[in-house]
Structures are given as structure tokens and as C-alpha cells.
Amino acid sequence: GSPDLVGWRLGVTAAAKPRFPPRRRRCARQPVMPLSGAGMRLHGWVGLPTASRSQADQQYFHVNGRLVRDRVVAHAVRQAYADVLFHGRHPAFVLFLEMDPLGVDVNVHPAKTEVRFRESRLVHDFLYRSLHEALADTRAGSSVQSVAQGTDAPHVAASVPSALQSGLRLGVGEPLADYAALLGRSPASVPSAPMPDNAMYGFAQDAEAGQVPPLGFAIAQLHGIFVLAQNAHGLILVDMHAAHERITYERLKASHDGEGILSQMLLVPQVVAVSEREATVVEENAERFEELGFDIARGGLQSITVRRVPGLLAGGDIQQLVRDVIADLATHGSSRRIEEARNDLLSTMACHGSVRANRRLSLPEMDALLREMEATERSAQCNHGRPTWVQLTLPELDKLFLRGR
């Protein structure tokens, strides 16, 4: 009855019938809770970024029960994973989309493995939003990623007080003299790891009572780079710069999302030479360009005039940015170029504003970092898709020292 339990029985000969009984094991995947909107419903599973692949060989997408491959779907998935997946890696997923059969043409290919959506932009945006929300829940501590077991690591639900979310304050240029200040508290008020003589016994009692946070409590710092912590499963290793970089990055994004896209008028309007088809795309998507922070109008049969651009990107290559947005709108019916370009800038700011290697942290400061990670979306990966923490379980540590043999 459980989707996590699968058993096999092979009938080779009458004499030999190997059995492979089901084992209670969970792979590193995130369920996509059934989401509905615009006449569509999506459910299934997406692989965690730490379970990515070197090739796109574990991607299964179904439309009304039919297994298909589609460029719009592939693009929406890539964008949803954009800032949590390491360069050159591919996510694994099994997804099921249910929609009005009249909204999809299944006769594009003789094998019926390709489809054409009549409202491709609507489908693209629905898929992107759904997967983006699912991946946002993969914060540090929401799953225990074992070093040795990899994708077979057990799943542990995170329990982080929502009050932690309300006190997050950090300016990028703010000196990091006291890391615990990130929580709006004094160092003395941040819980540190109690280490009495019977620490292991007391820790086990806390674990049974559910009092140990997912990432546990800090016990030491290694070479000014890694934070070592003890949780209910064993040892946690945290790359403190990568972890703080993600925390700062998510906070910057939230701040800018709250302000909306701020536009800036160009001192001299730019005339961009385009094809007739591209100029038509601009005309047909005038409202969409305005939502993205542009003031663009068709200036002729094969030209457009740009008068206003998103403020954060005013110093960049305006013509190339406009061409990229036009290409996205023409191909996929939507574009996230502005958000991607903005996020690139915010990522750079977060990198420079994060705690650096060789900075010594106290136990309360390290514990503050762990609590921030548990409260921050996507904090299991840094802005570049690298893991921010790993788990060494007690059985893995026992194996290293040949214990129990």
C-alpha cells in the first residue's frame, strides 16, 4: 500500500525463483502535492538537487496518462531548478499533468511521444510555479542526506518555529561582527550545545522527545571553513560560507520581490534592429514587456525603440537582454530573463556579503547559522548548486571504524 515499498519476484525456472522482498527505503525526492489551476492538475515527484544526474535519463512526464517529451515542459523544469542545480547536472522527476484533452494536440509525432499545447505559455507558467514551490520546501534539515547512502537517505521532516522567519534582518554591507545578530538576538539568547558529562545520554533523550533540531547543535569549527554539529542521526558538516551565501541570497530576493520591478528611463532611447517577426512579438506582448519593467514600442517594420528598462539591469547590454526576452516569448510564450539577470546580480552581492573562510565563530554563532538554514528556503544548496551540508550517520561512522564486526 505504500509507494515507498517495492518488491520483486523473478520466475526463471520452476526450481529457482529469486525473491527480492520490499525494503522500507526512501529515495531523495520531493513529492509535488496535487496543485490545480487554469484547468490543470499536477502531481508526482521531483528529485532533490543532491540526487541530480549527469544526463537526462530519469525524466518522465505524463499528459493525461500518456508519456511524452516536450520542449515547453523541459524549459519549465530547467527554470524551476535554475539556482539550486549545479552546472551541467540534470534533475530526475516523474510528473503527471491532467488537463482538458482539447488543450493538447497528441498527433504531432507518429509515435505520439510529442505533443503541442494550444496555450503553451499557460502550461509553462503553471509547471514552473508548481515545481518552484515544491523545491522551495527543500530547506536544510528537511531531509537527511547521507554521505554514503546518497539518494537512499531517510527522510526526516523539519520542524522550525515560524517565529524564526520574522526576525531575519541583514544588509549586504553590514559587518559580520556578530553572526547571531542575524536572528535579531544577542549571542547569549541563542541556544548553544549543552555538553555535560553524560552528553550522549542527554542528547539521546532529547532526540526521543523531539527536542533536537534537524541540523542539531554545533560542537566545533574545522579550519575556519566547516561547522561540525551533532543531531539525532550523527554528525552534520556545514560549509559555512556556502550556507550563509544562500541565506543572504534568499533574503535579498525576498526584499526585491516585495518592492517589485523598478524601472529606469534611458537618457537616450535605444533603437534595436530586429526581424519583422521579432517586432511583431514585441507588439503582441506589450503588456508582458511592461510587467517586466520595459517601455518598448515598435519603431518600424524591422526595428523597436527601448525607452525604459529594469533599474538593476540598466548598466548591462540592453540590446542583448531585449533580444533574449523576445526569443523566450516567441519560443515559450514567457520569459524569466529579467528575474534570472537580477538573481545573478543578487547572487554576486550575496557572495561578497557572506561570512568568509577562516572567520572564527563561537558556538552560539554557529547554532544561529544552523537555525537560519532550517528556516531558509532552498538552503540545502548554495547559489551555485553546491551542497551546503552533509550528514554522516552513526552506522556510517561505525563502519569507518569497523565497529560491530
CA angle 73, 294, 339 (to 5 degrees): 40
Instruction: Walk along the chain (405 residues) and give the pLDDT tens digit of each residue.
Output: 445 555 556 555 555 556 656 554 445 666 666 777 778 999 998 888 888 888 888 999 999 999 998 889 999 999 899 888 888 899 999 999 999 999 998 887 777 788 889 888 899 999 998 898 888 876 666 554 544 444 333 333 333 333 323 232 333 333 334 344 443 444 444 444 444 444 454 455 555 556 889 999 999 999 999 999 999 999 999 999 999 999 999 988 888 777 777 788 998 899 999 999 999 999 988 888 888 888 999 988 999 999 998 887 787 788 888 998 898 888 777 777 777 888 887 888 788 777 777 888 999 999 999 999 999 999 999 888 889 999 999 999 999 999 877
Residue type, 252: L
Q: For the domain bounded by 140-405, which CATH number is listed?
A: 3.30.1540.20
The residues spanned by each domain of the chain are 8-136, 140-405
**Rg of the chain's alpha carbons, rounded to an integer?**
25
Domain 8-136 has CATH 3.30.230.10: yes
